Amino acid sequence: MKPPFRAALATALVLGLTGAAAVPALAQAHAPSTSAVSPAADLHTRPNGDALRQAIEGLPNADATAALVRVGGKHGAWRGSSGVHDLVTHREADPHGRFRAGSTTKIVTAAVALQLAAEGRLDLDKPVQHYMPELFPRPADKDKDKDKEFLPIPVRSLLNYTSGLQAGDGFDDEYAHRFDTLDPRTVVASAVAEGPQHAPGAEQHYRNIGYTVLGLLIERVTGDSYAHQARERIFKPLRMRDTYFPGTDPRIRGPHNRGYQKVERPDGTTRLVDVTEWNQYDRFAAGDMISTTADLETFTQALFGGKLLPPEQLKEILTLPRLAPGVPAATFGAGPQYTKVNGKKVWLKTGARHGYTNMIAASEDGSRTLVYSVNATDAKGEDMNPVTQRIVQAALS
Protein backbone atom coordinates (compact mmCIF):
# COMPACT_ATOMS: atom_id res chain seq x y z
CA MET A 1 0.00 0.00 0.00
CA LYS A 2 1.14 3.53 -0.71
CA PRO A 3 1.39 5.95 2.21
CA PRO A 4 -1.44 8.54 2.48
CA PHE A 5 -0.79 11.87 0.82
CA ARG A 6 -0.39 15.02 2.90
CA ALA A 7 -1.39 18.46 1.73
CA ALA A 8 2.07 19.93 2.24
CA LEU A 9 3.71 16.94 0.53
CA ALA A 10 6.21 16.83 3.39
CA THR A 11 6.09 13.16 4.25
CA ALA A 12 5.25 11.83 0.81
CA LEU A 13 8.15 13.66 -0.87
CA VAL A 14 10.85 14.02 1.77
CA LEU A 15 12.13 10.50 1.11
CA GLY A 16 13.46 11.59 -2.25
CA LEU A 17 15.29 14.63 -0.83
CA THR A 18 17.15 12.62 1.78
CA GLY A 19 18.35 10.27 -0.91
CA ALA A 20 16.88 7.11 0.59
CA ALA A 21 14.32 6.75 -2.16
CA ALA A 22 12.89 3.29 -2.58
CA VAL A 23 13.66 1.37 -5.75
CA PRO A 24 10.45 -0.11 -7.19
CA ALA A 25 10.54 -3.88 -7.44
CA LEU A 26 9.92 -5.13 -10.97
CA ALA A 27 10.40 -8.76 -10.16
CA GLN A 28 12.34 -10.71 -7.61
CA ALA A 29 16.01 -10.04 -8.20
CA HIS A 30 18.03 -13.21 -8.70
CA ALA A 31 21.56 -11.88 -8.44
CA PRO A 32 24.60 -14.01 -7.75
CA SER A 33 26.72 -13.11 -4.74
CA THR A 34 29.89 -13.19 -6.82
CA SER A 35 31.28 -10.38 -8.93
CA ALA A 36 30.56 -9.96 -12.64
CA VAL A 37 27.25 -11.17 -14.04
CA SER A 38 27.76 -13.28 -17.15
CA PRO A 39 25.94 -12.33 -20.37
CA ALA A 40 22.99 -14.34 -21.62
CA ALA A 41 20.87 -14.22 -24.75
CA ASP A 42 17.53 -12.67 -23.83
CA LEU A 43 15.20 -10.95 -26.29
CA HIS A 44 15.37 -12.00 -29.94
CA THR A 45 11.96 -11.03 -31.27
CA ARG A 46 10.47 -7.76 -32.47
CA PRO A 47 8.90 -5.51 -29.80
CA ASN A 48 5.25 -6.32 -29.24
CA GLY A 49 3.60 -3.16 -30.56
CA ASP A 50 0.06 -4.20 -29.63
CA ALA A 51 1.03 -4.88 -26.01
CA LEU A 52 2.95 -1.60 -25.79
CA ARG A 53 0.04 0.41 -27.19
CA GLN A 54 -2.29 -1.20 -24.69
CA ALA A 55 0.16 -0.46 -21.87
CA ILE A 56 -0.08 3.31 -22.37
CA GLU A 57 -3.65 3.73 -23.63
CA GLY A 58 -6.32 5.62 -21.73
CA LEU A 59 -4.18 8.48 -20.45
CA PRO A 60 -4.69 10.72 -18.62
CA ASN A 61 -6.06 8.65 -15.77
CA ALA A 62 -5.66 8.51 -12.00
CA ASP A 63 -2.12 7.12 -12.27
CA ALA A 64 -0.52 9.27 -14.98
CA THR A 65 -1.17 12.16 -17.34
CA ALA A 66 1.28 11.18 -20.11
CA ALA A 67 3.71 8.46 -21.18
CA LEU A 68 6.65 8.48 -23.60
CA VAL A 69 8.19 5.12 -24.57
CA ARG A 70 11.05 3.97 -26.80
CA VAL A 71 11.94 0.30 -27.27
CA GLY A 72 14.99 -0.55 -29.36
CA GLY A 73 17.65 -3.15 -29.97
CA LYS A 74 18.85 -5.63 -32.58
CA HIS A 75 15.41 -6.84 -33.62
CA GLY A 76 13.45 -3.69 -34.31
CA ALA A 77 12.19 -0.58 -32.59
CA TRP A 78 8.91 0.81 -31.28
CA ARG A 79 8.07 4.41 -30.38
CA GLY A 80 4.91 5.55 -28.70
CA SER A 81 3.34 8.28 -26.59
CA SER A 82 -0.05 8.98 -25.06
CA GLY A 83 -1.78 11.38 -22.73
CA VAL A 84 -1.77 15.15 -22.59
CA HIS A 85 0.73 17.98 -22.43
CA ASP A 86 -1.18 19.53 -19.53
CA LEU A 87 -4.52 19.34 -17.74
CA VAL A 88 -5.60 22.83 -18.79
CA THR A 89 -5.47 22.71 -22.59
CA HIS A 90 -5.54 18.88 -22.86
CA ARG A 91 -3.52 19.02 -26.05
CA GLU A 92 -1.61 15.88 -26.98
CA ALA A 93 1.55 15.03 -25.09
CA ASP A 94 4.76 16.02 -26.88
CA PRO A 95 6.60 12.76 -27.69
CA HIS A 96 9.89 14.70 -27.77
CA GLY A 97 9.27 16.52 -24.49
CA ARG A 98 11.99 17.01 -21.92
CA PHE A 99 11.56 15.78 -18.35
CA ARG A 100 13.36 15.48 -15.04
CA ALA A 101 15.40 12.29 -15.43
CA GLY A 102 15.88 11.73 -11.70
CA SER A 103 18.25 8.97 -10.66
CA THR A 104 19.01 7.86 -14.20
CA THR A 105 21.52 10.70 -13.78
CA LYS A 106 23.60 8.31 -11.69
CA ILE A 107 24.52 6.22 -14.73
CA VAL A 108 25.92 9.32 -16.44
CA THR A 109 27.89 10.11 -13.29
CA ALA A 110 29.23 6.56 -13.15
CA ALA A 111 30.30 6.78 -16.81
CA VAL A 112 32.17 10.05 -16.23
CA ALA A 113 33.91 8.69 -13.12
CA LEU A 114 34.90 5.48 -14.93
CA GLN A 115 36.25 7.41 -17.90
CA LEU A 116 38.47 9.29 -15.44
CA ALA A 117 39.52 5.94 -13.97
CA ALA A 118 40.41 4.66 -17.45
CA GLU A 119 42.56 7.77 -17.95
CA GLY A 120 44.39 7.13 -14.67
CA ARG A 121 43.05 10.31 -13.09
CA LEU A 122 40.86 8.54 -10.56
CA ASP A 123 41.84 5.41 -8.64
CA LEU A 124 38.80 3.35 -7.63
CA ASP A 125 40.76 1.66 -4.85
CA LYS A 126 41.91 4.90 -3.22
CA PRO A 127 39.73 6.35 -0.46
CA VAL A 128 37.68 9.41 -1.22
CA GLN A 129 39.39 10.97 1.81
CA HIS A 130 42.62 10.94 -0.22
CA TYR A 131 41.05 13.29 -2.77
CA MET A 132 38.82 15.36 -0.47
CA PRO A 133 40.01 15.15 3.13
CA GLU A 134 38.03 18.25 4.06
CA LEU A 135 34.73 16.41 3.59
CA PHE A 136 35.51 13.99 6.41
CA PRO A 137 36.90 15.93 9.37
CA ARG A 138 37.84 14.03 12.51
CA PRO A 139 35.26 14.30 15.32
CA ALA A 140 36.14 17.00 17.86
CA ASP A 141 35.84 14.59 20.77
CA LYS A 142 37.43 11.33 19.63
CA ASP A 143 36.19 9.33 22.62
CA LYS A 144 32.65 10.71 22.67
CA ASP A 145 32.17 10.63 18.88
CA LYS A 146 34.12 7.47 18.11
CA ASP A 147 31.09 5.98 16.33
CA LYS A 148 31.17 8.90 13.88
CA GLU A 149 34.71 8.23 12.73
CA PHE A 150 34.87 7.12 9.08
CA LEU A 151 37.11 4.35 7.86
CA PRO A 152 38.73 4.95 4.43
CA ILE A 153 35.96 4.83 1.80
CA PRO A 154 37.18 3.50 -1.56
CA VAL A 155 35.89 5.44 -4.55
CA ARG A 156 34.44 2.15 -5.83
CA SER A 157 32.17 2.06 -2.76
CA LEU A 158 30.59 5.34 -3.83
CA LEU A 159 29.80 3.84 -7.23
CA ASN A 160 28.21 0.63 -5.93
CA TYR A 161 26.28 2.05 -2.94
CA THR A 162 28.43 0.36 -0.28
CA SER A 163 30.12 3.46 1.19
CA GLY A 164 28.30 3.36 4.54
CA LEU A 165 27.35 7.03 4.17
CA GLN A 166 23.93 7.85 5.52
CA ALA A 167 21.44 10.18 3.89
CA GLY A 168 21.89 13.89 4.54
CA ASP A 169 19.16 16.15 5.86
CA GLY A 170 17.14 18.32 3.51
CA PHE A 171 14.15 20.61 3.92
CA ASP A 172 11.46 19.33 6.31
CA ASP A 173 8.78 20.42 3.84
CA GLU A 174 10.08 19.97 0.30
CA TYR A 175 7.08 21.43 -1.49
CA ALA A 176 7.15 24.67 0.50
CA HIS A 177 10.87 25.02 -0.32
CA ARG A 178 10.68 23.95 -3.95
CA PHE A 179 12.14 27.24 -5.20
CA ASP A 180 14.91 27.42 -2.58
CA THR A 181 18.49 26.32 -3.18
CA LEU A 182 20.14 23.60 -1.11
CA ASP A 183 23.83 23.23 -1.93
CA PRO A 184 25.13 19.66 -2.43
CA ARG A 185 28.04 20.30 -0.05
CA THR A 186 25.52 21.11 2.67
CA VAL A 187 23.81 17.77 2.02
CA VAL A 188 27.15 15.95 2.22
CA ALA A 189 28.15 17.73 5.43
CA SER A 190 24.84 16.71 6.99
CA ALA A 191 25.39 13.08 5.97
CA VAL A 192 28.95 13.01 7.32
CA ALA A 193 27.75 14.45 10.63
CA GLU A 194 25.53 11.38 11.03
CA GLY A 195 28.56 9.10 11.00
CA PRO A 196 28.87 5.81 9.09
CA GLN A 197 26.07 3.25 9.05
CA HIS A 198 28.50 0.41 8.41
CA ALA A 199 32.05 -0.28 7.28
CA PRO A 200 32.70 0.46 3.59
CA GLY A 201 31.90 -2.55 1.41
CA ALA A 202 30.03 -4.45 4.12
CA GLU A 203 26.45 -3.69 3.03
CA GLN A 204 24.66 -2.19 0.04
CA HIS A 205 22.06 0.54 0.54
CA TYR A 206 20.61 2.49 -2.36
CA ARG A 207 21.01 6.19 -1.60
CA ASN A 208 21.77 9.41 -3.44
CA ILE A 209 24.57 10.53 -1.14
CA GLY A 210 27.37 8.46 -2.70
CA TYR A 211 26.70 9.99 -6.11
CA THR A 212 26.51 13.47 -4.64
CA VAL A 213 30.03 12.89 -3.31
CA LEU A 214 31.07 11.46 -6.70
CA GLY A 215 29.97 14.67 -8.41
CA LEU A 216 32.15 16.69 -6.05
CA LEU A 217 35.00 14.22 -6.57
CA ILE A 218 34.77 14.62 -10.35
CA GLU A 219 35.03 18.37 -9.86
CA ARG A 220 38.07 17.96 -7.61
CA VAL A 221 40.11 15.74 -9.93
CA THR A 222 39.23 17.67 -13.11
CA GLY A 223 39.22 21.23 -11.76
CA ASP A 224 35.99 21.68 -13.71
CA SER A 225 32.28 21.64 -12.95
CA TYR A 226 30.51 18.28 -12.93
CA ALA A 227 27.90 19.55 -15.39
CA HIS A 228 30.56 20.65 -17.89
CA GLN A 229 32.41 17.33 -17.62
CA ALA A 230 29.18 15.42 -18.29
CA ARG A 231 28.42 17.64 -21.25
CA GLU A 232 31.88 17.34 -22.81
CA ARG A 233 32.37 13.64 -22.14
CA ILE A 234 28.85 12.27 -22.68
CA PHE A 235 26.28 14.66 -24.09
CA LYS A 236 28.33 16.28 -26.88
CA PRO A 237 29.96 13.11 -28.27
CA LEU A 238 26.58 11.35 -28.33
CA ARG A 239 24.77 14.45 -29.66
CA MET A 240 22.37 14.45 -26.71
CA ARG A 241 21.26 17.99 -27.52
CA ASP A 242 18.20 17.98 -25.24
CA THR A 243 20.04 16.84 -22.11
CA TYR A 244 21.40 19.32 -19.58
CA PHE A 245 21.73 20.20 -15.89
CA PRO A 246 19.47 23.10 -14.85
CA GLY A 247 21.42 24.02 -11.70
CA THR A 248 19.28 26.35 -9.61
CA ASP A 249 16.81 27.09 -12.43
CA PRO A 250 13.44 25.59 -11.38
CA ARG A 251 12.13 25.49 -14.95
CA ILE A 252 12.41 22.81 -17.61
CA ARG A 253 13.69 24.71 -20.63
CA GLY A 254 12.33 23.81 -24.05
CA PRO A 255 9.31 21.65 -24.90
CA HIS A 256 8.04 19.50 -22.05
CA ASN A 257 4.87 17.97 -20.65
CA ARG A 258 3.65 19.21 -17.27
CA GLY A 259 4.15 17.08 -14.17
CA TYR A 260 1.50 16.63 -11.47
CA GLN A 261 1.42 15.27 -7.92
CA LYS A 262 -1.66 13.81 -6.28
CA VAL A 263 -2.42 15.56 -2.95
CA GLU A 264 -5.03 14.70 -0.35
CA ARG A 265 -7.56 17.33 0.68
CA PRO A 266 -8.77 17.64 4.29
CA ASP A 267 -12.02 15.86 3.35
CA GLY A 268 -10.14 12.81 2.06
CA THR A 269 -10.58 13.54 -1.65
CA THR A 270 -7.55 14.24 -3.84
CA ARG A 271 -6.46 16.93 -6.25
CA LEU A 272 -3.53 17.25 -8.65
CA VAL A 273 -0.91 19.94 -8.04
CA ASP A 274 1.35 21.12 -10.88
CA VAL A 275 4.91 20.39 -9.70
CA THR A 276 6.73 20.99 -12.99
CA GLU A 277 8.78 23.91 -11.68
CA TRP A 278 11.11 22.87 -8.87
CA ASN A 279 14.69 23.81 -7.95
CA GLN A 280 16.42 20.45 -7.59
CA TYR A 281 20.03 21.58 -7.36
CA ASP A 282 20.57 19.44 -4.26
CA ARG A 283 20.05 16.37 -6.49
CA PHE A 284 23.25 17.33 -8.33
CA ALA A 285 25.12 14.33 -9.79
CA ALA A 286 22.59 11.95 -8.24
CA GLY A 287 19.46 13.22 -9.97
CA ASP A 288 19.37 16.78 -11.36
CA MET A 289 19.56 15.94 -15.08
CA ILE A 290 16.88 16.91 -17.60
CA SER A 291 16.64 14.80 -20.75
CA THR A 292 14.40 13.14 -23.35
CA THR A 293 13.60 9.54 -24.16
CA ALA A 294 15.49 9.85 -27.46
CA ASP A 295 18.65 11.11 -25.72
CA LEU A 296 18.46 8.49 -22.99
CA GLU A 297 17.99 5.76 -25.58
CA THR A 298 21.13 6.98 -27.36
CA PHE A 299 23.02 6.94 -24.07
CA THR A 300 21.75 3.49 -23.05
CA GLN A 301 22.68 1.91 -26.36
CA ALA A 302 26.11 3.57 -26.36
CA LEU A 303 26.89 2.53 -22.79
CA PHE A 304 25.85 -1.10 -23.02
CA GLY A 305 27.23 -1.29 -26.57
CA GLY A 306 30.72 -0.51 -25.26
CA LYS A 307 31.03 2.89 -26.98
CA LEU A 308 31.50 4.99 -23.83
CA LEU A 309 33.84 2.89 -21.69
CA PRO A 310 36.73 0.48 -22.25
CA PRO A 311 35.92 -3.18 -21.45
CA GLU A 312 37.47 -3.06 -17.98
CA GLN A 313 35.37 -0.06 -16.92
CA LEU A 314 32.20 -1.41 -18.52
CA LYS A 315 32.75 -4.60 -16.53
CA GLU A 316 32.88 -2.41 -13.40
CA ILE A 317 29.39 -1.11 -14.23
CA LEU A 318 28.11 -4.70 -14.48
CA THR A 319 29.81 -6.08 -11.38
CA LEU A 320 27.93 -6.85 -8.18
CA PRO A 321 30.06 -6.26 -5.09
CA ARG A 322 30.77 -9.00 -2.57
CA LEU A 323 29.30 -7.99 0.80
CA ALA A 324 29.84 -9.11 4.37
CA PRO A 325 28.57 -12.60 5.32
CA GLY A 326 24.97 -12.72 6.46
CA VAL A 327 23.73 -9.53 4.76
CA PRO A 328 21.41 -9.46 1.73
CA ALA A 329 23.20 -10.00 -1.58
CA ALA A 330 23.98 -6.97 -3.73
CA THR A 331 21.62 -6.17 -6.60
CA PHE A 332 23.37 -3.02 -7.88
CA GLY A 333 26.57 -2.71 -9.84
CA ALA A 334 28.33 0.61 -10.33
CA GLY A 335 25.09 2.48 -10.95
CA PRO A 336 22.48 0.13 -12.50
CA GLN A 337 20.42 -2.60 -10.89
CA TYR A 338 20.53 -6.23 -11.95
CA THR A 339 17.22 -8.08 -11.96
CA LYS A 340 14.98 -10.42 -13.91
CA VAL A 341 11.83 -9.32 -15.71
CA ASN A 342 9.65 -12.09 -17.09
CA GLY A 343 12.64 -14.38 -16.61
CA LYS A 344 14.89 -12.12 -18.72
CA LYS A 345 18.18 -10.82 -17.29
CA VAL A 346 18.15 -7.03 -17.34
CA TRP A 347 20.28 -4.13 -16.16
CA LEU A 348 18.20 -1.04 -15.40
CA LYS A 349 18.06 2.26 -13.59
CA THR A 350 14.90 3.96 -12.48
CA GLY A 351 14.56 7.64 -11.70
CA ALA A 352 11.75 9.65 -10.17
CA ARG A 353 11.29 13.32 -9.48
CA HIS A 354 8.04 15.00 -8.61
CA GLY A 355 5.70 14.60 -11.60
CA TYR A 356 8.01 12.29 -13.58
CA THR A 357 9.07 8.66 -13.27
CA ASN A 358 11.57 7.17 -15.72
CA MET A 359 13.64 4.13 -16.57
CA ILE A 360 16.51 3.10 -18.79
CA ALA A 361 17.05 -0.65 -19.24
CA ALA A 362 18.99 -3.08 -21.40
CA SER A 363 19.10 -6.84 -21.69
CA GLU A 364 22.55 -8.25 -21.04
CA ASP A 365 23.24 -9.10 -24.65
CA GLY A 366 22.00 -5.77 -25.99
CA SER A 367 19.13 -7.36 -27.87
CA ARG A 368 16.58 -5.05 -26.26
CA THR A 369 16.64 -1.58 -24.70
CA LEU A 370 13.82 0.31 -23.04
CA VAL A 371 13.48 3.96 -22.10
CA TYR A 372 10.32 5.51 -20.77
CA SER A 373 9.17 8.64 -19.01
CA VAL A 374 5.74 8.63 -17.40
CA ASN A 375 4.11 11.70 -15.89
CA ALA A 376 3.03 9.77 -12.81
CA THR A 377 0.70 11.37 -10.30
CA ASP A 378 2.63 9.69 -7.48
CA ALA A 379 6.16 9.52 -8.87
CA LYS A 380 7.72 9.18 -5.41
CA GLY A 381 5.30 6.51 -4.16
CA GLU A 382 6.57 3.28 -2.64
CA ASP A 383 4.91 1.04 -5.23
CA MET A 384 5.64 0.93 -8.93
CA ASN A 385 3.18 2.97 -10.97
CA PRO A 386 0.64 0.74 -12.80
CA VAL A 387 1.40 2.39 -16.16
CA THR A 388 5.14 1.81 -15.84
CA GLN A 389 4.54 -1.74 -14.69
CA ARG A 390 2.57 -2.42 -17.88
CA ILE A 391 5.25 -0.81 -20.03
CA VAL A 392 8.00 -2.97 -18.56
CA GLN A 393 6.02 -6.15 -18.92
CA ALA A 394 5.13 -5.35 -22.54
CA ALA A 395 8.62 -4.20 -23.54
CA LEU A 396 10.64 -6.97 -21.89
CA SER A 397 8.43 -9.99 -22.58
Q: Structural domain boundaries of the chain?
A: 10-395
pTM for the structure as a whole: 0.88
Q: Which residue has the higher pLDDT, 397 or 387?
A: 387
| Architecture of domain 10-395 in this structure | 3-Layer(aba) Sandwich (3.40)
Q: With cut-offs at 50, 70 and 90, classify the pLDDT of residue 55.
A: very high
Output the pLDDT for position 366. 79
Q: With cut-offs at 50, 70 and 90, classify the pLDDT of residue 241.
A: very high
Nearest to 92 by CA among 69, 61, 63, 67: 67
Q: Is the pLDDT of residue 163 over 90?
A: yes
CA distance linking residue 81 with residue 70, whole number of Å: 9
